[in-house]
A and B are shown apart, each in its own frame.
Chain A
Amino acid sequence: KNEVEQSPQNLTAQEGEFITINCSYSVGISALHWLQQHPGGGIVSLFMLSSGKKKHGRLIATINIQEKHSSLHITASHPRDSAVYICAAFYGGSQGNLIFGKGTKLSVKP
């Protein structure tokens, strides 16, 4: 069964802290996505990766294919980072499908 597991489910941090959100998945994925859902409900794509590491501003995403694991890191966290972060794995070929994790709700306190 193709599954995506995220941890933690909820995370509270103080402003400035380094944050890590974890995602594990089953074999055979073609790509992994990290999404951010704002408190207002909108969803934004942060990263799509199939190997290695990507960085955008204070956000870093890594993936370890052998361990079937990806992490999203936020450096120098800020209250505006408060959101739900969702990991999604693409299983299958050209007619494959994104399977979503249940999300990690992050709250960054000033």
Chain B
Amino acid sequence: DTAVSQTPKYLVTQMGNDKSIKCEQNLGHDTMYWYKQDSKKFLKIMFSYNNKELIINETVPNRFSPKSPDKAHLNLHINSLELGDSAVYFCASSQGGARNSPLHFGNGTRLTVT
């Protein structure tokens, strides 16, 4: 059983489109995250949710909107996609936050905007 699964694995789309990436964890964790890894492989937090509530919202364009219908799911919706949004997006989860426990990552979604 996959612990943190995100779909799709690859996403190729044109500028201006709206797309979503889904993430689900079956570990019973209370905290979920979205990270962005740029072309230089640098990871950066985008959002963090604890028990469905937004905890961290870094400086991310408001075209990015996370949604957590329950604590096992954290989806990422992106409006009006731009070339600069091309990156690998990782979902992750932990119990009690990264201060207290290790992160479990999904396999990533490679987004290419053309």
Contact = CB atoms under 8 A, between A and B. Distances in A.
B101 interface: yes
Interface in A64-95: 84, 86, 88, 90, 93-95
A52 interface: no
A30 B41 CA distance: 24
Given A102-B41, A103-B41, A41 B98 contact: no
Contacts of B45: 97-98
B55 interface: yes
A100 B99 contact: no
Interface stretch (B12-20, B21-29, B103-111): B103-111
B107 A100 contact: no
A30 B90 contact: no
A41 to B, nearest CB: 5
Interface residues of A, number: 25
Contacts of A96: 97-99
Contact of B42 (A43, A93, A94, A100): A100
Contacts of B55: 95
A18 to B, nearest CB: 25
A110 interface: no
Nearest to B110: A41
Interface in B25-65: 40-45, 48, 55-56, 58
B107 A42 contact: yes
Nearest to A43: B105
B8 interface: no
Contacts of B103: 33, 35, 45, 98
B69 interface: no
A34 B40 CA distance: 19
Most buried by A among B40, B56, B101, B102: B102
5 contacts: A33-B103, A37-B41, A48-B101, A94-B99, A96-B98
Given A30-B99, A41-B107, A90-B99, 5 more contacts: A31-B100, A45-B102, A96-B97, A97-B48, A102-B42
